[in-house]
């Protein structure tokens, strides 16, 4: 068993302590506790991503393979407290799983108690200690984190962050460690004390590779990947600010999320079947671009027999060879730069090239040339909409080259997917996508320099699978997944979204500047 308590053990714990004969978890529905006298429901529904995470965390590899292959699996599990249960998982439909937890030995279940405690909060699925029947509910207990002998001390905070289901760990000099949970920053521990520069520096250097230590001492920041075997990978960034050293660690799960789990529209998936051209996934930092690209590459890996080269800084999601041969190259470790690796890729017989970040004019230029010469190229930019992505690429070039680049881009661009992450009601986050498919109308506007008209083409091209960011944000709000205020904050055209809210009778409680 891992040192920290598994999420699924929360439900096993309450199955035992409250005399339930079973627990049932269904995506999007309240948790159902079965008793000989009837059923009781939790106060809040459990989201699909929470169910997927607790099963992926607890299930042995063979059980997960069975689930992927047949849509169902069954495995035995022993909780941290020593309770043996059987866990049955069925994928009822895409994005909907049904999980049943049943005691392997019903006689080990305690007698029922007076009341059933509330289910764990969606943002923090931790265990709660048992309370006397008459006592008020207690706050969630801190997960127990124990490090193996010789394990880096920083792993304590990373393991705790993982147990909290946080996306990022923030550590800064003279500030207590903090984490981003469901998009919001909060303290990692309620009673945590600030860590000074010297202490943080010592913690960071334990896990920093030699070349990154040298880079950090030279330029005051560095990026690298850190791995905790059997738990998670992390993308690390170290930096200096006015108070001293700081670090941010982004969680990168070992398991790549499926198309259904992240809710990718079908038209985006269709881009994976292209033989050549440029596909761009864009959005601000932390919007899920890397997750989307990993899912697209994994889909290709499962369905095509091609050669894929990825160029990343650092390597985040690790892709095993399935139907494809995949070579993953890390900038600074396996190659000097994005542009150097991209030039070399042309001599390495690729079918598909993933460029982790199109940072400069030369990288962008080579990526467009690669897409023109019969390769499928995936790339990322930090733009917030499809039209601004086209403008950003063209503006990288000197004025005397921009007309030629417009022509080249109009012929090579196949699609732009811009995305943001929105806080969901009840916890978790949902991606909103803007999709532009490069049809003849889009190509003509790019060639003629009329990018301001691209939004109109997307609005009239819905039957082709195109959509604006506001289209998807409005869909999330109407479905009850996202609050109107959150959608408004994430919109890149707030005036139009506000009009759409009014037309659909949606009220918004937001104080505007």
pLDDT digits 0-9 by tens, 347-399: 999 999 999 989 899 999 999 999 999 999 999 999 999 999 999 999 999 99
- Per-residue pLDDT band for 1 (boundaries 50, 70, 90) equals very low
Q: State the sign of the Cα–Cα–Cα–Cα dihedral 417, 418, 424, 429.
A: positive
DSSP 433: E
Q: In whole angstroms, give the CA distance from residue 149 to residue 396.
A: 51
Q: In whole angstroms, give the CA distance from residue 197 to residue 244.
A: 5
Query: Is there a contact between 74 and 91 (Cβ–Cβ < 8 Å)?
Result: no
Least confidently predicted of 132-136, 153-157, 321-325: 132-136
* 214 pLDDT higher than 90: yes
DSSP 273: G
* 132 pLDDT higher than 80: no
Which whole number is the average pLDDT over 133-143? 42
Main-chain dihedrals φ then ψ at residue 148, nearest 5 degrees: -70, 155
* 412 pLDDT higher than 60: yes
Query: What pLDDT, on the 0 to 100 scale, is given for residue 148?
Result: 76
Q: In whole angstroms, give the CA distance from residue 170 to residue 187.
A: 9
Query: Is there a contact between 424 and 288 (Cβ–Cβ < 8 Å)?
Result: no
Q: In whole angstroms, give the CA distance from residue 292 to residue 287.
A: 10
Name residue, tokens 């250097």.
205
Query: What pLDDT, on the 0 to 100 scale, is given for residue 106?
Result: 62
Query: What pLDDT, on the 0 to 100 scale, is given for residue 42?
Result: 75
Q: Using alpha carbons, select from 134, 113, 103 the residue that is nearest to residue 18.
A: 113
> In terms of pLDDT, which residue wins out, 342 or 114?
342
- Percent of the chain exceeding pLDDT 90 equals 61
* 486 pLDDT higher than 90: yes
Instruction: Tell me the two tokens of residue 316.
Output: 């985040």
- Per-residue pLDDT band for 5 (boundaries 50, 70, 90) equals low
Instruction: Tell me the two tokens of residue 203.
Output: 């913690």
Query: Is there a contact between 386 and 344 (Cβ–Cβ < 8 Å)?
Result: no
* Beta-carbon contacts of residue 53 (< 8 Å; ≥ 6 apart): 7, 165
Query: What pLDDT, on the 0 to 100 scale, is given for residue 435?
Result: 97
- How many helices (H) and strands (E) the chain has is answered by 18, 19
Q: What is the largest CA-CA distance in the chain?
A: 81
Least confidently predicted of 22-31, 207-216, 274-283, 316-325: 22-31
Query: What's the distance, Cα to Cα, between the start and end of the chain in Å?
Result: 51
Query: Is there a contact between 435 and 415 (Cβ–Cβ < 8 Å)?
Result: yes
Query: What pLDDT, on the 0 to 100 scale, is given for residue 54?
Result: 80
What domains can be seen in the chain, in order of their start residue?
Answer: 8-108 (3.30.450.90), 154-252 (3.30.450.90), 259-467 (3.40.50.300)
Least confidently predicted of 89-93, 134-138, 216-220, 491-495: 134-138
Query: What pLDDT, on the 0 to 100 scale, is given for residue 393?
Result: 96
Q: Counting beta carbons within 10 angstroms of the beta carbon of residue 458, is it exposed (0 to 12), middle (13 to 18) or buried (19 or more)? A: buried
Which whole number is the average pLDDT over 133-142? 40
Query: Would you tell me the crossing angle of helices 386-395 and 399-412 to the nearest 10 degrees?
Result: 140
The string of pLDDT tens digits covering residues 10-41 is 788 777 766 778 889 898 888 888 877 778 77
Query: Is there a contact between 96 and 88 (Cβ–Cβ < 8 Å)?
Result: no
Residue 348: other Cβ atoms inside 10 A: 12
- pTM for the whole structure: 0.68
Q: In whole angstroms, give the CA distance from residue 291 to residue 269.
A: 14
Query: What pLDDT, on the 0 to 100 scale, is given for residue 139?
Result: 36
Name residue, tokens 């199955």.
15
- Per-residue pLDDT band for 85 (boundaries 50, 70, 90) equals confident
Which whole number is the average pLDDT over 461-472? 95
Torsion of CA 100, 105, 111, 113, to 10 degrees: -30
DSSP 188: S
Sheet holding 307-312, edge to edge: 325-330, 307-312, 352-355, 376-381, 277-282, 413-423, 429-437
Q: How far is CA 118 from CA 125, 194, 261, 462, in A?
A: 12, 32, 26, 43
* Beta-carbon contacts of residue 282 (< 8 Å; ≥ 6 apart): 289, 380, 381, 382, 383, 384, 385, 386, 389, 416, 417, 418, 419
Which whole number is the average pLDDT over 462-476? 95
Query: What pLDDT, on the 0 to 100 scale, is given for residue 17?
Result: 67
The string of pLDDT tens digits covering residues 303-317 is 999 999 999 988 889
Q: Using alpha carbons, select from 325, 388, 382, 390 the residue that is nearest to residue 356.
A: 382
Q: In whole angstroms, give the CA distance from residue 409 to residue 161.
A: 42
The average confidence (pLDDT) of the chain is: 86
Query: Is there a contact between 97 and 258 (Cβ–Cβ < 8 Å)?
Result: no
- Per-residue pLDDT band for 167 (boundaries 50, 70, 90) equals very high
Residue 398: other Cβ atoms inside 10 A: 8
Which whole number is the average pLDDT over 193-205? 95
Query: What pLDDT, on the 0 to 100 scale, is given for residue 126?
Result: 38
Query: Is there a contact between 54 and 101 (Cβ–Cβ < 8 Å)?
Result: no
Query: What pLDDT, on the 0 to 100 scale, is given for residue 202?
Result: 95
* Beta-carbon contacts of residue 456 (< 8 Å; ≥ 6 apart): none
Q: In whole angstroms, give the CA distance from residue 491 to residue 129.
A: 41
- Per-residue pLDDT band for 93 (boundaries 50, 70, 90) equals confident
Query: What pLDDT, on the 0 to 100 scale, is given for residue 156?
Result: 93
Main-chain dihedrals φ then ψ at residue 188, nearest 5 degrees: -65, -40
Q: Between β-strands 325-330 and 307-312, what pairing exists: parallel, antiparallel or unpaired?
A: parallel
Query: What pLDDT, on the 0 to 100 scale, is given for residue 113?
Result: 37
Query: What pLDDT, on the 0 to 100 scale, is given for residue 249?
Result: 97
- Per-residue pLDDT band for 205 (boundaries 50, 70, 90) equals very high
């Amino acid at each position: 068993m891992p040192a920290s308590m598994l999420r699924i053990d929360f439900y096993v714990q309450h199955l035992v302590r409250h005399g339930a004969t079973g627990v049932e978890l269904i995506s999007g529905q309240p948790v159902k506790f079965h008793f000989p006298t009837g059923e009781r429901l939790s106060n809040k529904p459990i989201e699909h991503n929470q169910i997927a995470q607790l099963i992926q965390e607890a299930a042995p590899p063979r059980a997960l393979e069975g689930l992927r292959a047949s849509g169902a699996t069954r495995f035995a599990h022993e909780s941290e407290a020593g309770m043996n249960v059987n866990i049955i998982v069925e994928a009822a439909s895409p994005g909907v799983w049904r999980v049943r937890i049943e005691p392997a030995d019903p006689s080990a279940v305690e007698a029922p108690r007076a009341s059933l405690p509330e289910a764990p909060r969606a943002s923090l699925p931790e265990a709660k200690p048992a309370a006397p029947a008459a006592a008020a509910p207690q706050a969630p207990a801190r997960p127990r984190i124990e490090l193996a002998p010789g394990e880096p001390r920083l792993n304590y905070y990373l393991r705790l962050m993982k147990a909290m289901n946080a996306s990022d760990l923030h550590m800064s000099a003279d500030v207590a460690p903090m984490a981003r949970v469901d998009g919001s920053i909060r303290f990692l521990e309620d009673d945590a004390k600030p860590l000074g520069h010297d202490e943080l520096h010592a913690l960071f250097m334990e896990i920093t590779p030699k070349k990154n230590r040298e880079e950090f001492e030279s330029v005051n920041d560095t990026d690298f990947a850190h791995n905790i075997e059997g738990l998670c990978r992390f993308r690390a960034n170290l930096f200096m600010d006015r108070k001293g050293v700081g670090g941010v660690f982004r969680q990168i799960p070992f398991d790549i999320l499926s198309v259904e789990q992240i809710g990718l529209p079908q038209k985006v998936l269709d881009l994976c079947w292209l033989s050549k051209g440029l596909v761009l996934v864009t959005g601000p930092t932390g919007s899920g671009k890397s997750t989307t690209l990993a899912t697209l590459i994994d889909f290709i890996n499962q369905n095509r027999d091609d050669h894929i080269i990825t160029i990343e800084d650092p390597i985040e999601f690790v892709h095993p060879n399935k139907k494809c041969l995949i070579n993953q190259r890390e900038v600074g470790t396996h190659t000097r730069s994005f542009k150097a690796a991209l030039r070399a890729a042309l001599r390495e017989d690729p079918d598909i090239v993933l460029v982790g970040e199109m940072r400069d004019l030369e990288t962008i230029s080579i990526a467009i040339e690669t897409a023109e010469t019969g390769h499928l190229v995936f790339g990322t930019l930090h733009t917030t909409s499809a039209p601004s992505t086209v403008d950003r690429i063209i503006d990288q070039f000197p004025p005397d080259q921009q007309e030629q680049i417009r022509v080249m881009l109009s012929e090579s661009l196949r699609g732009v997917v811009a995305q943001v992450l929105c806080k969901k009601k009840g916890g978790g986050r949902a991606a909103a996508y803007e999709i532009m498919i490069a049809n003849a109308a889009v190509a003509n506007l790019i060639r003629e320099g009329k990018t301001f008209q691209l939004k109109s083409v997307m609005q009239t091209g819905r039957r082709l699978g195109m959509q604006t960011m506001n289209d998807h944000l409005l869909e999330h709000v109407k479905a009850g997944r996202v609050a109107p205020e959150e959608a408004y904050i994430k919109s890149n055209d707030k005036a139009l979204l506000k009009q759409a809210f009014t037309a659909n009778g949606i009220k918004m409680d937001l104080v505007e500047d």
